[in-house]
Amino acid sequence: MTISQDLFSRAQESIPGGVNSPVRAFNGVGGTPLFINKAEGPHTFDADGKRYIDYVGSWGPMILGHNHPQIKQAVLDAVENGLSYGAPTESEILMAEKVKALVPSIDKVRMVSSGTEATMSAIRLARGYTGRDKILKFEGCYHGHADSLLVKAGSGALTMGVPNSPGIPADFAKHTLTVSFNNLDEVKAIFAQYPDQIACIIVEPVAGNMNCIPPVEGFLEGLREICDTHQSVLIFDEVMTGFRVALGGAQAYYNIEPDLTCLGKVIGGGMPVGAFGGKRAIMDHIAPVGPVYQAGTLSGNPIAMAAGLKALELLSEPGLHDALESKSKQLCDGFQRAADAAGIALTTNYAGGMFGFFFTDAERVDTYQQATECDLERFKRFFHLMLEEGVYLAPSAFEAGFVSTMHSDADIAETIKAAERAFAKLVA
Ligand code: PMP
């Protein structure tokens, strides 16, 4: 028995499913989850001491690699002054100023402690601002686990086969309208069906919770136009894409300005952080300026601010995001070449520092339907073969992969070699 196996059976006695977030349990791929002891640069190390090239990156935030020495030092320095005050600090202003400077659509920003809180609060704000109840989301997009948003959700909800979670009253869920990602006709039709009733559209501008699906040309522009026509709030959920797809997020990469933006993980540099921000006229509806209530004991926590500020400072280095994207491209091209050579049907997607690969005959994958129709059994086998090879991919076909600045050419070449061997075994 490995140490991970032993820990997993022990964990299941006292933690539901042995994990504190479902996808970690490896339900999507079977087998025993690895218990991680340590992470450094592009690597994680499991409890049995095995080293992996990691493409999960704590599900997104580790753009600069694990345990970056300067972020670690910023945390250690901050700890000297206490862990939490529940009172305003200058570091929160610095963080807000930095976020505004990097994401120009944001006039004001409120810090929270998770992506779920960011999207939940942004939805409440959009509803309070417009006085409308209905919201529109896309099938397969995941925006955290708030009640209104666990409707046809992606990520773990999709992996576990519960895109519509029990426990959410039908009276809540009925206000969440869902249409297909990358399909503007469906968006127009639903706005025609519910005129003046839709408070907002919330979208992952690059979908990263049903594998990785970038927007087709004109999709985000179309959403902007529809929101303008119907006075609905356009919310970009950039919890994953923020500072990863480009320094200014997907909104900079595709040059579309949302009204509100949700941010997460990245701005904590690995600490538990989220944020939502946007146009002044909307943000001023939030308490204590306006009536829409939102609060948090640990919001703007000084340790998290210190880590996040250092991360954003390091991410601001010119050229960093171009280099990150070329790593994604290198990896995707390598997987494609290796799959073609082995006679395996595969296609890949990437945007900035996030990527996805699909076992399918389709030339490209643009929709939820296509993503769910891929060969999931083949993915599972590939995942485990790669794990044996020392490459840690997301343990579900419905998650994006992430590269970091610490993934060297040699790491990527080693990953592609591992994929070549894995593909050969898949067709053997
Ligand atoms: N939005 C998106 C796009 C996400 O990817 C996630 C988490 N993967 C969330 C929201 C929720 O964030 P958290 O898990 O920090 O609550």
Q: What pLDDT is stored for residue 162 in this prediction?
A: 73
Give me 25's structure tokens.
């349990």
Alpha carbon nearest to ligand 1 atom 12, residue: 115
Residue list, ligand 1 pocket, CB within 6 Å:
59, 114-116, 119, 142-144, 155, 204, 208-209, 237, 239-240, 264-265, 274
In the numeric block, which tokens belong to residue 84?
A: 């939490």
One domain for residues 198 and 339:
no
The β-bridge relationship of strands 134-138 and 354-358 is: unpaired
Ligand 1 center from residue 24 Cα (angstroms): 14
pLDDT of residue 147: 93
The whole domain housing 412 covers 3-67+318-427
- Ligand 1 atom at minimum distance from 204 CA: 3
- Counting from 1 in the atom list of ligand 1, the atom nearest the Cα of 59 is 8
**Of 315, 330, 360, which closes a domain?**
315
CA distances to 15, 17, 263, 296, 351 from 22, in Å:
11, 8, 22, 24, 26
**Residue 342 near residue 423, CB atoms below 8 Å:** yes
Q: What is the pLDDT of residue 149?
A: 93
Q: How far is the CA of 264 from the centre of ligand 1 (A)?
A: 7
| Residues 150 and 23 reside in one and the same domain | no
Distance set, CA 405 to CA 65, 79, 286, 312 (Å)? 6, 26, 36, 13
Contacts within 8 Å (CB) and 24+ apart, 290-298: 290/128, 291/128, 292/124, 292/125, 292/128, 292/129, 294/110, 294/112, 294/121, 294/124, 294/125, 296/111, 296/112, 296/113, 296/117, 297/84, 297/86, 298/84, 298/113, 298/272
Cα separation, 398 vs 367, whole angstroms: 12
Residue 336 Cα to ligand 1 middle (Å): 28
- Per DSSP bridges, beta strands 260-263 and 274-278 are antiparallel
Q: Please give the distance of CA 394 from its chain centroid, rounded to a whole number.
A: 12
Q: Does residue 163 share a domain with residue 139? A: yes
Verify that 272 and 295 share a domain, yes or no: yes
Start-end of H helices in 194-240: 219-230
Same domain as 305, residue 272: yes
Counting as low any pLDDT under 70, the low residues of the chain are none
Q: In this structure, what token pair is assigned to residue 285?
A: 């509806």
My answer on whether 249 and 262 are in the same domain is yes
pLDDT at residue number 112: 98
CATH number at residue 74: 3.40.640.10
Mutual angle of helices 219-230 and 184-193, in 10-degree steps? 10
Say if residue 208 is exposed, middle or buried (CB neighbours under 10 Å; 0-12, 13-18, 19+).
buried
d(CA 322, CA 301): 31
Indicate if 272 and 136 belong to the same structural domain.
Answer: yes
Question: Do 29 and 395 form a contact (C-beta atoms < 8 A)?
Answer: yes
Whether residues 124 and 222 share a domain: the answer is: yes
Among 292, 315, 338, identify where a domain stops.
315
- Number of domains the chain is built from: 2
Residues 109/308, Cβ–Cβ less than 8 Å: no
Whether the model pTM is above 0.90: yes
What integer pLDDT is reported at residue 160 of this predicted model?
Answer: 75
Q: Is 123 within 8 Å of 235 (Cβ atoms)? A: yes
Strand 347-351 to 354-358 pairing: antiparallel
Q: Which of 117, 239, 243 to probe ligand 1 with, by most ligand atoms within 8 A of CB?
A: 239
Residues with a known catalytic role: 142, 237, 265
DSSP 354-405: EEEEE-SSSS---SHHHHHTS-HHHHHHHHHHHHHTTEE--SSTTS-EE--T
- In the prediction, which pLDDT does 296 show? 97
Each residue of 265-282: b (16+ CB within 10 Å) or e?
A: bbbbbbbbbbbbbbbeeb
* Residue nearest to ligand 1 atom 10, measured at CA: 143
Is the bond leading into 288 cis (omega within 30 degrees of zero)? yes
The domain spanning residue 413 has which CATH number? 3.90.1150.10
311 and 361 within one domain: no
Residue 345 Cα, ligand 1 centroid: separation in angstroms? 30
SS3 56: coil
Mutation choice for ligand 1 from 240, 267, 354, 398, CB with most ligand atoms inside 8 A: 240
Q: Which atom of ligand 1 is nearest to the CA of 155?
A: 8
Query: Are 54 and 139 members of one domain?
Result: no
pLDDT of residue 410: 98
> Within this chain, do residues 215 and 281 fall inside the same structural domain, yes or no?
yes
- Same domain for 377 and 251: no
| ipTM above threshold 0.90 | yes
The C-alpha atoms of residue 320 and residue 281 are separated, in whole angstroms, by: 33
Contact 248, 321 (CB under 8 A): no
